[in-house]
Amino acid sequence: MLPGGERADRQARRALYRAHHPDRGGDPAELLRRLGELDAARAAVPAPQDVVFVRRRPVDRLRAWAQRRHRPPRVV
**Average model confidence (pLDDT) for the chain?**
82
Q: Is the pLDDT assigned to residue 55 strictly greater than 80?
A: no
Helix/strand/coil (H, E, C) string of 15-68? Answer: HHHHHHCHHHCCCHHHHHHHHHHHHHHHHHCCCCCCCCCCCCCHHHHHHHHHHH
Contact 50, 36 (CB under 8 A): no
Q: 25-53: per-residue pLDDT in tens?
A: 888 999 999 999 988 888 777 777 788 88
